[in-house]
Amino acid sequence: MQRVVLILSAVLVLFGLSGTLSTVDAQPEDILQAPSSLEEIVQSLATARRNEIPALVENIAELEDLRRRAFLESMLEGQIYFTREEQRVVRAVRIEDQFQISDSLTGEELGLVGTRAVGRVSVNNSLRRNLRLLIAGIDLEDEEPGIRLSAVEYLVSQAATESRELLLQLRSVESDDSVSLAIEEGLALVDLSSEDPLLRSAALDQLSGNLNNTIRNAIRQVAEGDPDPDVQAKAEDALSSIQNKVELYGYVQTLFFGLSLGSVLLLAAIGLAITFGVMGVINLAHGELIMLGAYTTYVVQQTFPNSIEVSLLIAVPAAFIVSGLFGIAIERGIIRFLYGRPLETLLATFGISLILQQLVRTVFSPQNRPVSNPDWMSGQWQLNEVLAFNYNRLYILIFCIIVFALLSLLLKKTRLGIEVRAVAQNRAMAKAIGVRSGWVDALTFGLGSGLAGIAGVALSQLTNVGPNLGQAYIVDSFMVVVFGGVGNLWGTFYGSFILGITNKIMEPWAGAVIAKILILVFIILFIQKQPKGLFPQKGRGMEE
């Protein structure tokens, strides 16, 4: 417990919280009647005068009662009230015109009371600062290194000069590596503003390349106005090395966003690469098949509201089947009568897309439907101060690559895949050697459509699920397939990622809309130069 005392007292002294303050050894007569338990001090808040409150708060912090932190937090949030009748200190949360009150320490519910029945224990700004420091001080004791770490970071960010002593003391007792590192950084940060140029210089050595925003600002200050030219030059170097690093991570972040966009494009386009690329069918309803996949996710989540965490695992096969069956129905019902008439196919499938859009409007609603992210898809993976990967984007990227790999495998290794490619290359010949081309067509189209459904599941985690979801992706998907080269899955693969990354690289300086326009213009020009896309299929009579 020695450590507790040491640190807490250091906090209080260094930050000049109160002259009346004491450690455990301090004489008790200073404060009221030397209350011994948390309950008593808390209760005394109800009757305390405004200027007595800071001292009481400090007393609370010194107690070794685990409940004190929660109490101080509530106080910081302005939730500590006292009832006017009983003069009891309570925690109160306003609900419309009433207060929901509960015991300030045990949390026991005490019911609803009118606004007039309670009075607030007043907290002003300087007290708020103290409260934060005290909470940080308590956190410095915590078993959990992460909590200690954020407490250190908070202290460092608060008041650099005063912290030095405290940090030195902390360093002597801290065992956790990352906390120690934070303390070291804090010390260096404090040293940056010391009188001694040597100390400042040493601090710069240590902080060079650090990405923390506070540290970066501190170094910038040194670089802009240090009296010692050597130190200033050093600070400039340190700053530029930090900026280089930030820039580098910025590129990595952009690359990640680009890859993420590419993965979305790939998912959206891969089904099209099958139906358009392999079968030569222009399916303008492809976007709506994606939309159906997204709505399937919604339905799955509505059907099993208690298993959101696994909903996606159910939704992926479900969406594949739903969109796939729709696809097969479209192929058997309409498209098979239109083979060899691409422009007519285009018109008919456009009609289908209109019908499907109106269908979900009628069945569900014209409004967007809420699809929730499971917990494991939310949040982000923070690699450092300036670099973070969103879990949903990361998982979708991985998912997309898995889907692509499985599809390539399917087309390469399975009987269906071989038949699909045979029909694509020479329908008449494939028929002659016994491939049931009608059946293969239906399955291929079903496969492409099912992939669209899977894309819909992924998209439901990124964007709004509404009747127009598909339209937003159809032009992009076609662009990807055309850009990559029709009939070539790898073309689609590279095409998606190239377009995704280019788009994200351009976005910061061109803006999202202009970037999109530029990409479209780029593809239009590219197609002029290379009408068969990135990976053209070459061979005799490819044109006819």
**What residues line the site for other proteins (CB under 8 A)?**
282, 334, 337-338, 342-348, 350-355, 357-358, 361-362, 471, 475, 478-479, 482, 513, 516-517, 520-521, 523-525, 527-529, 531, 538-541, 543-544
For the bound state, the minimum distance from the C-beta of residue 528 to other proteins, rounded and expressed in Å, comes to 4
Nearer to other proteins, 227 or 541 (CB): 541
CB of 216 to other proteins, least distance (A): 33
Number of H helices, E strands in the chain: 21, 7
Residue 448's nearest CA partner among 394, 492, 395 is 492
* The two structure tokens encoding residue 438: 């009608």
For other proteins, which is the closer residue by CB, 56 or 264? 264
Q: How far apart are CA 110 and CA 100, in angstroms?
A: 8
For residue 480, the minimal CB distance to other proteins (Å) is 11
Nearer to other proteins, 343 or 432 (CB): 343
CB of 470 to other proteins, least distance (A): 12
Nearer to other proteins, 124 or 358 (CB): 358
Quote the tokens at residue 73. 């937090």
Buried b (16+ CB within 10 A) or exposed e, 497-516: bbbbbbbbbbbeeeeeeebb
Indicate the residue among 200 and 286 with the shorter CB distance to other proteins.
286
Query: Residue 250 CB, nearest distance to other proteins (Å)?
Result: 26
CB contact at 8 A, 294 and 465: yes
Q: Tell me how far, at minimum, the Cβ of 314 lies from other proteins, in Å.
A: 30
Q: How far is the CB of 266 from other proteins (least distance, A)?
A: 18
Between 233 and 512, whose beta carbon lies closer to other proteins?
A: 512
Instruction: Render 70-136 in DSSP notation, one character per residue.
Output: HHHHHHHTT-EEEETTT--EEEEEEETTEEEEEETTT--EEEEEEGGGEEE----HHHHHHHHHHHH
Taking the complex as a whole, how short is the minimal distance between the CB of residue 471 and other proteins, in angstroms?
8
State which residue, 132 or 516, has the beta carbon closest to other proteins: 516
Asked if residues 300 and 314 have their Cβ atoms less than 8 Å apart, the reply is yes
Please tell me what DSSP assigns to residue 35. -
DSSP notation for 288-316: HHHHHHHHHHHHHHHHSTT-HHHHHHHHH
- With respect to other proteins, which residue has the nearer C-beta, 374 or 500? 500
For residue 7, what are the CA distances in angstroms to 2, 35, 137, 174, 503? 9, 22, 7, 11, 52
Q: Which residue lies nearer to other proteins by CB, 267 or 356? A: 356
Instruction: Name the packing angle between helices 512-529 and 489-510 (round to 10°).
Output: 140
Cβ 522 to other proteins, closest distance in Å?
A: 11
DSSP 155-169: HHHH-TTTHHHHHHH
CB of 296 to other proteins, least distance (A): 21
Q: Which element (helix H / strand E) includes 213?
A: helix 213-225
CA distance 145 to 160: 22
Looking at the Cβ atoms of 321 and 334, the one nearer to other proteins is 334
Angle at 474 between CA 282 and CA 373, to 5 degrees: 135
Secondary structure E strands in 367-445: 380-384, 387-390
Nearer to other proteins, 383 or 542 (CB): 542
Q: Rounded to the nearest whole angstrom, what is the least distance from the CB of residue 424 to other proteins in the complex?
A: 16
